[in-house]
A and B are shown apart, each in its own frame.
Chain A
Amino acid sequence: TAGITQAPTSQILAAGRSMTLRCTQDMRHNAMYWYRQDLGLGLRLIHYSNTAGTTGKGEVPDGYSVSRANTDDFPLTLASAVPSQTSVYFCASSPTQAYYGYTFGSGTRLTVV
């Protein structure tokens, strides 16, 4: 089934450690996004990429970095995790820049202790 694959599904991470959340899509969508979802706050955009080779900062980019070496992959890296980064992280994609709506992955539940 075409879509977005996120890994891992869940993770417990010690504060100060680094981690990369993986996101792969097989729909050849140009645009990809990383959101975090926190209770009562909805979804907040962390970083985005309008096309391979380009990235941009969203609403809450501090403490996170991304890369977009090819169309399919859009990993999110936490260089030195802090407890406030405990959240559910969703990767999403769209054919162009969001006109068509997004396809979401199933999410990664991250707990930083």
Chain B
Amino acid sequence: AQSVTQLGSHVSVSEGALVLLRCNYSSSVPPYLFWYVQYPNQGLQLLLKYTSAATLVKGINGFEAEFKKSETSFHLTKPSAHMSDAAEYFCAVSVRTGGFKTIFGAGTRLFVKA
């Protein structure tokens, strides 16, 4: 069975600093991996996805993530944080087991300090 672990329920960075949100997954078959962002009182929005093509995936708003099979990781990064990046971020893994099954991580809330 697959699972997703997001390390750190809260991350705080200063504006202009590197953003690093950690995600590790477990899957017995090749996974599809996703990052979503949720702003207050809104639904989740797809940031980026890995679907077995390039291991470095670029998404919206300057975010990117790298799939590292040996580390079973899919960490999300952004070189320079903006105040508008403050939100909750969810990592998700989807695998084909008959149909597809998607599991979401518990989420990491990002705080950006001025």
Contacts and interface: CB of A to CB of B under 8 A. Distances in A.
A16 interface: no
Contacts of B94: 98-99
Q: Looking at chain B's contact residues, is the secondary structure mostly helix, strand, loop, or mixed?
A: strand
Contacts of B107: 42
B32 A106 contact: no
| Most A Cβ at <10 Å: residue of B9, B94, B100, B102 | B102
B51 to A, nearest CB: 7
B106 A40 contact: yes
A35 B38 CA distance: 14
Interface string B84-114: 0000001000101001111011110000000
Contact of B32 (A35, A98, A103): A98
B88 to A, nearest CB: 10
B102 to A, nearest CB: 5
A35 B100 CA distance: 16
Interface of A: 4, 35, 40-43, 45, 50, 90, 92, 96-107
B44 A97 contact: no
Contact of B9 (A35, A40, A98, A101): A40
Given A90-B44, A101-B49, A41 B100 contact: no
B63 to A, nearest CB: 14
Contacts of B36: 101-102, 104
B106 A42 contact: yes
Contacts of B32: 98-99
B102 A98 contact: yes
Given A4-B43, A40-B9, A98-B100, 17 more contacts: A42-B104, A42-B105, A42-B106, A43-B90, A43-B104, A90-B43, A90-B44, A98-B101, A99-B32, A99-B94, A101-B34, A101-B46, A102-B46, A103-B46, A104-B44, A106-B42, A107-B41
A47 B101 CA distance: 12
B45 A99 contact: no
Contacts of B41: 106-107
Nearest to A91: B43
